[in-house]
Each structure stands twice: as C-alpha cells, then as structure tokens.
Amino acid sequence: MTDSIDSRHAQSRAGAPGLAGVQGLASAEARAGAQRRAEGPALSRRRFLGVSASLAAGAVVAGDALPAPAQAAGAAVAGGAPRAGPVAAAGPEPRADPPASAEGKALVAITLDLEMARNFPRWEDTHWDYEKGNLNEETKRYAVEAARRVKARGGVIHFFAVGRALEQEKVDWLQDIVRAGHPVGNHTYDHVYVLATKPEEIQYRFQRAPWLIEGKTPAEVIRENIRLTTAALKARLGIEPAGFRTPGGFANGLEGRPDVQRMLLELGFPWVSCKYPAHPYGEPGKEPAPEVLAGIVKAQEAAQPFAYPTGLIDVPMSPISDIGAFRNARWKLARFLEAVRLGVEWAIERRAVFDLLCHPSVMYVMDPEMRAFELVCDLVERARDRAALADLGTIASRVAKAKAGETEEKKDR
C-alpha cells in the first residue's frame, strides 16, 4: 500500500538532528574553513586498515539503511524525495558490456541535479516535494560557482534540470552555464517516478492535484513530462537535452522494464543515468564503520556503465550521493569526502568510471566551500594520464563504441 504523504513526512522527520537541523551541521563544517580546505579527508591508519580488511572480506550490507519510505518503495534513494510507489520486481542483472574505460583513462564525472530537495536547507522543509523546480537563489548561485570552479580545473559539470525550473522568470544564470560549455540534461518536468504503474505513484504534486492527469495513463503522463522538459530546454535555453536522468535511482536500473527503455529511446535518448547500486549506510547520525565504507567501495563495481538488450545505455550514479550521505545517513562533510575519495581512487586504479551525484540545493548547505568538487578535481589532476574529468555523454559514447566493436567482431567470426 502506498503511504500517505503526511505519514511519509513524519517518517522523514523522525530522528531529525535537533532544532539546529542540517544548518547546524553545515555551520560547524563552515567554521573549520580554510584550515581544513587543503587537508582532504585523510584516513587514519586504523580506519584505513579497517576499510582494507572489510574490502578483502567482500563486506557489503545491501540496502540496510534505506529509510522506511524508500524500503516501502523498493528503490535506492539516490536523489530527491523517496518515490511514491513500488518498483517492479527485480529481475536478473543486465549483462554489462565492456566497461566504458576498459582501455585508456578512468573517466570521472561531476553531476548536479537542478531541483529542490526535502529537508534542506531546514530539516522540516518538506514542501519542495510539490515544487521541485522552484529553485531558490542560493541553489542557483551555488550551481553557477561550482560550474566556474570545475571549468577552471579543466572539466565540466553535467547538469540535469527539472522542467519546472524553466518556468522561473529569469534563467540567465543557466544560460551562462550552457555558454560556458556545461551540458544540461532532462530530469523530467515534475521529478516524476518513471517506473510508476498507478497515478498516485507518479509524483506528490499529482496526489494533491489529481485533476492535472485525469484520464491519462501513468505511461502517458511520464512520457509527456519528459517531452515537456525537452521542449522547455529548447525554448528557454536553445539546446537539445544532453541525456536523461531518472529522478531517484534504482538498484537494478531499468531491468525488467523494456517498455520504459523503449520509451526513452523513442524520445531521442540513446543513454540515460538511472541505476544507483544498493550499498550500506550505517546507523543514521553515527560515524560510518569501516565495513560501511568498504561496502560503498564494493558497490562501485555495480556502478559501471552498460547497455540493456534494447540498446539503451545506462551510465549509473556512483555511491554515495549527497542525499544518501546527508539525509539518509546524516553524516558530516568529512565522512562524505572520505567516501568520495575512496570511490574515485577505486575508479582511477582500475581505469573505471565514477559519477559523483550531488544537488546544489543540498550542497550549498552541507558543503558551502565546494570541497567535494575540489577533491575530485585534485584526485584526477594527481592521476595525470590515468584519469580525466568527463561528462556523461563522453562516457556513454565509449560504451557505444565498445558495443559497436563487439558487434563487428561477431560479424567477422
């Protein structure tokens, strides 16, 4: 049964970090300021040995810390609010094609979803579920500055925008981001659940105002939501969408839903960013144990790009996202940086892919100094010719090239 909106909000508030909320955590981090900026999230010897031992043992606690609403939905919560309904039963994992970086450099992406997020900037903020595109000024300023910094380090940020954000009066800030060379993809118009099979599962907004979708099937509503975002990107920014990212993330991606895969291909998307592997979170508000960090590193294997049998390419989101760290696990910034460092280093060592998923609406509160982005750029820079910053389109093109090569090889046999 689908939980009521109010009950899910109550569950989200349970165990909130006091009156100071997430702002208090962010303020504490900000006060450390310049003193810590260059330090990075170095592991103590004890923590390093603990993580290494857990990795050697193959420890991973899949889905142990998904919040109650997400467990009911059966979806990994990579970003935004937990989905309103159940995910289709998981089938076997799709066979992965050769990794996008099997030859050459590791590819590391920084991706930002342009939407508002519940519990930020204040823990009691849940109204964003109904107005995901009503971006506040802090979110927009943070996005612009993050784009500037990463561009100065030789990379780009791959943005994904909800269409309703383009209803705002001024979009010059986003036009500037586009002009600077940063790709912007489609994130649906209302942040809809693309696996929905019932009207009440699609989005909170349509639970409150069901007349908006009356007489339409969920598939029709979802298709139109995606189409409208493409139209909005063309009208307000003059661009075609640079790929598609599903709101939320699903542990099995779009496996078992060839209908959704075909819909996305028909709408002009040869690749998507959808899968978010299950991984441990630990106990909310507590320091992550070594086995939690080891489980997150282990999950990077399942976060490598692949192609579904339909030909649709998926460039997964790499654990742990900012939502996972700061809302679900309620970590402090230092632990998030530690997990990001471990994930990026894993990818660099294996010439693999890492896709950092964040939201400016969360990060301006929790990481005002943009230490996570500076860390990623530092790690790639130190790797020299072993790694490069990349957008998701570049990563997807490597998968497509590898798949084409495999096809030609089969023909020659």
Q: Tens digit of pLDDT for each residue in 325-369?
A: 999 999 999 999 999 999 999 999 999 999 999 999 999 999 999
The band of 407, judged by pLDDT with boundaries at 50, 70 and 90, is low
- Residue by residue, DSSP assigns 315-351 as -PPBS--HHIIIIIS---HHHHHHHHHHHHHHHHHHT
As a whole number, the mean pLDDT across the chain is 82
Residue found under tokens 């649906």: 188
User: 388 has which bridge partners?
Assistant: 107
> Whole domain around residue 188: which residue ranges?
5-412
**Whole-number pLDDT of residue 83:** 39
What CATH number does the domain containing 331 carry?
3.20.20.370
C-alpha R_g of the chain:
20
* DSSP symbol at 101: T
Closest C-alpha among 69, 188, 182 to residue 132: 188
Least confident of 6-20, 150-164, 218-232, 286-300: 6-20
> Which pLDDT band holds residue 409 (cuts at 50, 70, 90)?
low
Q: What is the pLDDT of residue 405?
A: 72
pLDDT value of residue 104: 87
**For 247, phi and psi rounded to 5 degrees?**
-60, 135
Which pLDDT does position 410 carry in this prediction? 66
Dist CA 323 CA 370 (whole Å): 16
Q: Which amino acid is at 273?
A: S
pLDDT at 402: 86
Q: What phi and psi, each to the nearest 5 degrees, are found at residue 64?
A: -70, -20
Domain count, the chain: 1
pLDDT at 110 over 60: yes
Give the confidence band of 70 by pLDDT, cuts at 50, 70, 90: very low
- For 201-247, the pLDDT digits (tens) are 999 999 999 999 999 999 999 999 999 999 999 999 999 999 999 99
